[in-house]
Chain A
Amino acid sequence: MATSEPGPPRREVTVPLLRRVEGEGGLRLGFSDGALSEVALEIFEPPRYFEAFLVGRGALEAPDITARICGICPVAYQTSSSLALEAIAGATLTPEIAALRRLLYCGEWLQSHALHVFLLHAPDFFGCTDAVELAQRDRGLVERGLRLKRAGNQLLETIGGRAIHPVNVRAGGFYRAPASAAVAALVPVLRDALEDARAAAEWAATLHYPDLHRDYRLVALRGAGAYPIESGAYVAGPDGLAVSPAEFAELAVEHHVAHSTALQARLGGEAYLTGPLARFAHNRDLLPPLAAAAADAAGLGAICTNPYRSLLVRCVELVAACEEALRLAEAYVPPDPPAVSLRLGQGRGFGASEAPRGLLLIGYATDAEGDLTWARITPPTSQNQLSIEGDLRVLAEGGASLSDGELAQRCEAAVRNHDPCISCSAHFLDLEVTRR
């Protein structure tokens, strides 16, 4: 009977289902002989083939179809899709339409950031299982989060027609401009929300954050004179990178890895990070005044590379979103017409906007009839996966002496730092069917 030498002691730490993230994923750490040998953020949601089934559809259908990827950030998908089609058509929005688009997008930031900060992320800082347990400890905190989220819902309901998957957005603008009175009714709601957001930033500045600093390669839109939300002047990145979304699409190369149904993007072959830390780093000087003051008061410098403190940066961005939304609502002039018309022929275009959790890049190609012949959708979580795995690697290497449970809990919380939207990320580019 053959015998074999015993292999090196192997230890595996597995979190089969990540909690308090959007979508379904897990993580796996492997140690051999005490040394970290494997880190995998496992995304196992079924791929959904959006890029494949968009082909052949009329291009003007694309914003609504693409937005079905996510119920948390549909405005981001509608906006990046619209920008891509507007690029193909060479269309320019009127200032009134552009302002309304930004106002709508502020609502999504409020919804998403409030949900993540108060209901999904904050429990980690108090050792709570979830928001219900957190509410037992600090009722006012969770109430504040729900009020902010509700303000975001009201913005989307008023401008978009409903709070989830708004129906009023089209390439070139909107189907109908909301009445002035309806937008004016948002002003007191947004004033209250602004106070809640400022209080949230003050609260977030008091939290104890683990001391972890990472050498991220940060990528975000650089705002065109304002903090980037619905658009930007260009994509900014490491080493002075400043490129158009179309150029960035050439540089950000997506790969398939065995442990994930999401593609992983690399920039120059390396990991990079999008999201609030990246936006802040490239645009701190463009924060509106109250948000800038909140950042100063919280002790945030020019750049923040501690992933745990993304909660604090998100709170600063909540202030920015409220401040911008209030300014836009007070100055609202109904766009007339509510959309510019697009003449779509053969072409190819890219659009990029800042989804709450990071840069969302979308590209389409159209034929002479204006039907889609190609689509590329690169969501933030695909771009952030490698950097998240980098965080896990650092934590696992420093925490090898922890019990499996402690290490799993620490790593799971580290994933939540980046507010991953796993459902968004899970779609392959190509579907090949061979019939014999």
Chain B
Amino acid sequence: MIFLFYLLSAIMIFCALLVVFSKNPINNVIYLILCFIAMAGHYILLNAQFLAVVHIIVYTGAIMVLFLFVIMLLNLNKAIIIRKSTVTRISAVVTGGIFFLVLLAATRQTFEIKAKYPFNSEIGLVSGIGKTLFGEFLLPFEISSILFISAMVGAMMFGKKDA
């Protein structure tokens, strides 16, 4: 089990680094899809089957295809060489590394985490998520439809020719 964790984590970190450092936008999208598939494996390891399926459908099925459509629509699929100056790039890497070290040091100092409830293998399944979603979180769920409508209207507004 722990071997699977390390394998999936290595795939994720490798693909995430390639997303940042690879130049061709199409390759970026492909590596991000690989990263997301590894993340779905992590969800299955965590016994969250519903989230794994939704993650595959929503992210790799919808969002990344949207990215690919835009890249091909705008004809960006050749490697465009727009890069920042060397100083900015080095400082970006240093900033990311320092941020990682600070967060790591901060989390190492935390107290030991105790499980709140006794272990229950049912919570990641559709019935467990559904009971919580349509019980406790019903109002946010309905309000998110308003968010979607406003996002749709906003995307159409931006997409209009003379806007």
Interaction A to B: no
Interface residues of B (CB under 8 A from A): none
